[in-house]
Structure 1
């Protein structure tokens, strides 16, 4: 199997989710640091338009969205398990809640003026403004929580998590599962990226102890890698064969059609290509880039919109 290449940047909470999963599974991976805002020409050469963080590359296969990346890592390294059989349903449902409801409440709390000032303290004012404009563009049309409402919600969510980890070392028992990593990363941002905001944990010490247990899992075995080398890897590789179960038609769009895929809400940049697969859980597009060559770009079904390409 080709090396695992993660395209990410250090302060990205969703990237931390995957870095922690890589640590849990003790996997070796190559680290490509990407810009936190557009333009991201090297990443887009691989994805065709998608620019959210992180993206996992395995040869000429490009995996978008952490929900799908977790599935891929589970397939590559089945032990220790992210989806224990007795928790398959509840762990995925909880992870989806954590990646959405919990995440957005935490970020509305984290990026209040004091937190935002800390995040950008070492950068010139223009960089902070550029980040704010970039995220505003990515979230066009989304309803944002007011900081006061988000703070109240975040406190409640932390209490609920505390009730779970007071009973067990991890959310659902003695071992972590995908739910732990999904819940951990927005809290990690509060504690490690904007620690001026970490007083919200004062009422829930059990949450900090749980976070320490996640942090102790590490981040796997990391090797620095350049974006140019990652593109060279893609150009020199063939995409992996697709699974047998490649078509579950919900849209009346035939395989082989030119299509567009974009996220439903945040980060709605479009990726266009030939529809190769629409399985129960994911879409696969084939596209060709002048630098990266022919690649397969994979998306989860949940959270993404499939449309026929215009014209």
Structure 2
């Protein structure tokens, strides 16, 4: 693997979804470069690469930008096929479980984690203005989302922890003797409870098997990480060309032709769109080409699930 093809993860330490990918990189025993991004807007160096998308993390390989951890896991599986994130006999089951963990479990856990006691601990060492700015930023990113009330989240979180406990009482990991994508997806919201707001971690007392499983996951580590600056990452992109589109079978569900100008945005949370030219729409992902004054020509990739594709072209009268 050359320096320009080495994975670059754009993340920040307390980002739970970033922890999911840091562990996946460790599981794959990959060397990777670490770019720390701001936790709130503005994020000019992020937007230079993504074109608008500002959820954390995203993965860069040269001039290719991969958004959403579900897609990033697919990319890591391609970059380093062994050990497997998707066991052949369980591919469907672990993907469905991971999607549940990244959505239902995550938002339940965060509604529990960030009730007043947890939020006070998270921001205890920061000035009040920082907590207010974070709250305003996340409110803007989640406009229109339905949020669980703390009491409802607590009850649901307890139930989900019991279900996870039942699974890891039977096996070392969720689906057997080895970890897979389901483990990393279920782990990261629980990691936030335990590591970022430990005052809230008493919820684990009823499920010691979950804590033992979490210790096994944490022991995997984060692989071989090298610190890298956002400007250096932009320079890597500017000096590279996007990878050839191998899986280029066009699957048209929208009546939008390749070569059209489009916008891709998340269905919920972080709705900032990325605009560009649609260069691929396969079974599993969208790819847009866009040019940035600093980063040059980029291909920005999104999974189909969880994202919307719309045209930005105006029809002739």
TM-score normalised per structure 2? 0.97
Give 1:243 shift.
1.4
Give 1:3 shift.
1.1
User: 1:239 matched to which residue of 2?
Assistant: 242
User: 2:185 matched to which residue of 1?
Assistant: 182
Structure 2 matches for 1:125-164, cutoff 5 A? 125-164=128-167
Q: Give me the whole-angstrom Cα distance separating, in 2, the residues matched to 1:245 and 1:234.
A: 22
Secondary structure of the 1:249 match is: coil
Asked if the contact 2:242/2:298 (under 8 Å) is kept, the reply is yes
Change beyond 3 A, Cα 1:210–1:244? closer
Structure 2 matches for 1:220-259, cutoff 5 A? 220-259=223-262
Q: Give me the whole-angstrom Cα distance separating, in 2, the residues matched to 1:168 and 1:187.
A: 19
Secondary structure of the 2:206 match is: coil
Q: Give me the whole-angstrom Cα distance separating, in 2, the residues matched to 1:51 and 1:266.
A: 10
Give 1:246 shift.
3.3
Runs of 4+ in 1 over 4 A off after TM superposition: none
Gaps of 5+ in 2: none
User: Pairwise CA RMSD of aligned residues?
Assistant: 0.6
User: 2:79 matched to which residue of 1?
Assistant: 76
* 2:194 counterpart (191, 196, 199): 191
| Structure 1 residue 212 corresponds to structure 2 residue 206 | no
Secondary structure of the 1:11 match is: coil
Instruction: Kindly provide the CA deviation profile for residues 163-188 of structure 1, in whole angstroms up to 9, marking residues without a partner as x.
Output: 00000000010000100000000000
Provide the aligned length of Structure 1 versus Structure 2: 311
Secondary structure of the 1:306 match is: strand
User: 1:267 matched to which residue of 2?
Assistant: 270
Q: Give me the whole-angstrom Cα distance separating, in 1, the residues matched to 2:191 and 2:76.
A: 21
Instruction: Kindly provide the CA deviation profile for residues 88-125 of structure 1, in whole angstroms up to 9, marking residues without a partner as x.
Output: 00000000000000000000000011100111111100
User: 1:98 matched to which residue of 2?
Assistant: 101
User: 1:292 matched to which residue of 2?
Assistant: 295
Q: Give me the whole-angstrom Cα distance separating, in 1, the residues matched to 2:247 and 2:123.
A: 48
